[in-house]
Structure 1
C-alpha cells in the first residue's frame, strides 16, 4: 500500500510538471483544482476513463436514466478528453473530474455524492475509491470488463491489485477468457454479457446524426473515411487520393490542433484539401443532407471540381460521419493500438487498420472473418484498398459480413439492466 500511495503522488507530480508545456496535462490539473463538489442526498455514480469509455458505457447510462428518472446521476472522468467534451451531458446531474485516488479524496468524494451504486466501464481500478465503496457496502459493478493474461492482476506480485478486484460486487465481462482469468484468482462473481459498445454503435447507426456539409462534399461519389488518425497513419493514407481520382476522402485526425491539421494538409496534393470549418463557412447555404444522399443543387456540378479531401478540424462528429462512407481506415494501429472500429462497422463499412490491434477482441474477430484488414505498410494499404475499390463482389460480401457481425453482438445492455437495479440508499448490493 505504501508503494501504491507513493506511485499515485509521483504520478500527480509528473502530470503537474507536464502541465507547464502540455495543454491536456494543464486541463487535468486545473480541472481538479477548480471543481467544487455538490452535495447529494443519494446518487448513481458512473465513472469513465475517457471519451471512448463514456461512449462504451453510454447505453447503460441512458438505460438507467430512462428506467429510473427519479434518480440523480453523477458522472466522473479521469481524462480531460472525456470531461471537456461531455461535461454538459444531459444524461448526468453533475459531471466531475475524478479526484486523485487518495484515502482522503475518496472519503470526501463519496461523502459528497452519496452513491447507492457505482458503475465503472471496462477498466480503471482505484484502490481507495473501491475500498471506500466496499467499506460502506455500496455495490460496485464493472461493465464491459476485459482481462488479459499479462496484466498485473495475474502476476505473482499483483496481490494489491487482486485485492482491488475483490472489492467489486459483480463483473459483466466481454469474453470467456476474462471469466477464466478471474476464476483462476478466486473471483467467480462474473457474467459474460458482451461489450456494450455494440449496442451503442448499433443505436447510432439506426439513427445517425446528419452532418452539415458532409452530403454536399460526398456529392454522390464513393467516400473513403480515415478516422482517429495519427501522423504515422496519415503518411500512408496521403498516397491514396492520387490513386483514386473518382473517390472523395475525409480525414478525421485524433488530434485537431492547428499545427497537426496543417501538417496533414501539407502531405496532400496542393489545393486538394479543405478544413471542415472552412468548407461549411464557404458554403453557407449548406443544408444537412441525409447520409448516402446526393446533393440537391440547381445546376449540376462536376464531381471532379473543388476539393477532394475534407479535413475534420473538430471533435465529436466522427461516429456519425461513417454513415456517409464506403470504406474506413481506423487510426492508431502504428502506435499503442487502434481506435474504435465498431463505429464504422455498424454501417457496414469494411475497416482497415495498422498492425497493433491484438488487444481488441473485435478487431481480431473481424480479421478472422476477413471483414477487417490489418496492414503493415503503404504497399499493403494500397493493395487492400484497390481490392475493395475494384472488386464489387468482394466489397459487398465484406460489407455484409461486418454489418452482420455487429448486429449479432448486440444485447449486452439488456442483459446487464435485467440484473442490476439501484438499491435504496446504503441498503447493500442486490447481487
Structure 2
C-alpha cells in the first residue's frame, strides 16, 4: 500500500501544478513551497530544538491556537514553528508573531519529511484534528520525537476502521498520544488497539471563548449596523446565498452581513447581484448608511463580527459540511445552518439544547428565522450573559444564552493538554 500512497502524493503534486496555471490558490500552494528548505535554513539558526505545530488550514490554526499560546507562555524561550498545508492558513498567518518561522508543509515524501524535520529540529510535534501523513509521522517516530494529535475526532465510517484500512491504521500507530473530542473516538481507537488517548474536548472552545470575552471593535461595521437587528451569515457558499437573498428581501427591517467563504471578484459580484443595494466592506460602508446588506470582501474579520449579530447563519451545510459554529455561539446568538452537519459534534449539541436549527430549504430557513427573531429579552451587550429589562425585537435570547453557556461549559481543553505534554518538554526554558 505504501507504493500506492506515494503514487497518490506524486499525482496530487502534478494536479496542483496543472491547476496553478489558472487557479490562484493552487499558485500559492506551488510558489509557497519553492526553495522551502533554503528559506528554512536562512531563517532558522541551526542547533536549536523547537516545538512544531502543524495546521491543515486557518480553521485548524484557530482551533489549536489556545494551546500554542499556552505553550509559549509557559516556555517563552522555546521557539515555535508553525506549518500549514493550505494557502488559506499560511497567507493569513505567515507573519504570526509568536512563531520563529511559519512555512508551508512540503508534500509528504520520505525525502521531504526527513529534510524538513532535520531542518526545524523539533523537540515535539503537535497536529490539530486532521491530516495524517505517513512519512512525517514515521520519521518523527523513528527519531523518537513525540507526536500529539489534539482535538481529534473519529467516526466509524473512516478508513482507519475498515477491514481494508491496515495501512491507515499504521499511520495512527506512529502517534504518541491522542487528545480527542468524544468518547466514541476513544472507543474506536481502542477497537484498533490504540490506548494512548484521552477525552480532552475541543481546543476551539478555549479560542472562541477568549475571542468573545475581548472582541476587536470594528467601527465601520458598527456604524453600518446602527440600531437595527442584524443577521450575520458567515463562511457562505452560493447555495447558502441563494436562500439568504430571499430572506433579506422579505425582511427590510433587518441588516444583513454576508461573509462568504470565497472572496474572489467573481463571487463578490455574484453576491452583489443577488442582494440588491449591497455594499462591500472595502468600499467603506459608513458612506452607505442607508444600505441594508454588507458584503465582507476580505478575510480575518468574521470571528469578531458576530458581536454585532442577533442571529447567525453558518455556511457550508449544502456542500461538504458546515463551517465554524462556535465563533457565533460564543457571542450568545442563535444559529442556523444547512443539512450537512453530522461530522460536527458541537452542531448536534447546539441543536439538542435549542440553540441552533438545521434547515434544508427556503421555507425551513423562513421558519427558523421566525423562531429566532421573536421579541425576547436581549443582553445589555451581545457579549454579556446578564439580561437587560428592556424587550427588544431581534433575537431569541433563550437560544442565545444556551449557546453561550454551552461554549463556556466546554472550555479548559488546552490546560488539560499542556499538563500532559509538559513531561515531554525539557524545562530549561520553563518560566
TM-score of the two chains, using structure 2 as the length reference? 0.91
Structure 2: gaps of 5 or more residues: 378-394
Partner of 1:27: 28
How far, CA to CA, are the matches of 2:273 and 2:351 in structure 1?
Answer: 32
Distance 1:424 1:384, change over 3 A: closer
**Conserved 8 A contact 1:74-1:95:** yes
Among residues 335, 342, 359, which one is paired with 1:375 in the alignment? 359
Q: Equivalent residue for 2:293?
A: 309
Equivalent in the alignment of 2:380: none
Cα drift, residue 280 of structure 1: 4.9
Separation in 1, partners of 2:313, 2:285: 24
Q: Is this contact kept in 1: 2:206–2:412, CA < 8 A?
A: yes
**2:265 is the counterpart of 1:221:** no
Superposed CA offset, 1:305-337 (max 9, x none): 610111101000000000011100000000000
> In structure 1, how many angstroms separate the alpha carbons of the residues matched to 2:116 and 2:265?
37
* Residue from 318, 340, 343 that aligns with 2:327: 343
Alignment gaps of 5+ in structure 1: 284-304
Query: Counterpart of 1:37?
Result: 40
Once residues 69 and 181 of structure 1 are traced to their aligned partners in structure 2, the CA distance between those partners, rounded to angstroms, is 37
Equivalent positions of 1:2-81 (< 5 A) are: 2-35=3-36, 36-38=39-41, 39=44, 40=46, 41-81=48-88
> Using the alignment, how far apart are the partners of 1:241 and 1:339 within structure 2?
21
- What secondary structure sits across from 1:213 in the alignment? helix
Q: Is the 8 A contact 1:212 1:280 kept in 2?
A: no
Displacement after TM superposition at 1:392 (Å): 2.6
SS of residue paired to 1:239: helix
- Aligned partners of 1:127 and 1:204: how far apart in 2? 34
Would you say the 8 A contact 2:57–2:84 is kept in 1? yes
Q: Report deviation, 1:66.
A: 0.7
1:389 matched residue in structure 2: 373
- What RMSD over aligned residues (CA atoms) do the two structures have, in Å? 1.5
1:267 counterpart (266, 269, 274): 274
Moved more, 318-327 or 25-34: 25-34
Q: 1:242: Cα distance to partner?
A: 2.4
State the secondary structure of the residue aligned to 2:373.
Answer: helix
Give the corresponding residue for 1:293: none
Residue of 187, 191, 211 corresponding to 1:204: 211
- Specify the alignment match of 1:294 in structure 2: none
Indicate the residue corresponding to 1:288 in structure 2: none
Q: Which secondary structure does the structure 2 equivalent of 1:56 belong to? A: helix
- Residue 88 in 1 paired to residue 91 in 2? no
Deviations 1:101-153 (A, max 9, x none): 01111111111110000000001100100011001100000000000101111
Q: Which residue of 2 aligns with 1:300?
A: none
Correspondent of 2:247 among 231, 240, 250: 240
The 2-side partners of 1:88 and 1:281 are apart by: 30
Aligned length: 403
Asked if the contact 2:310–2:333 (Cα under 8 Å) also holds between the matched residues in 1, the reply is yes
CA distance in 1, matches of 2:312, 2:286: 26
CA distance in 1: counterparts of 2:286 and 2:249, whole angstroms: 26
Asked whether the 8 Å contact 1:45–1:75 carries over to 2, the reply is yes
Is the contact made by 1:388 and 1:395 (CA closer than 8 Å) also made in structure 2? Answer: yes
The equivalent of 1:291 in structure 2 is: none
Measured in 2, the distance between the counterparts of 1:166 and 1:280 equals 52
Shift of 1:18: 1.1
Equivalents in 2 of 1:84, 1:166: separation in Å?
32
Counterpart Cα distance in 1 of 2:5 and 2:255: 51
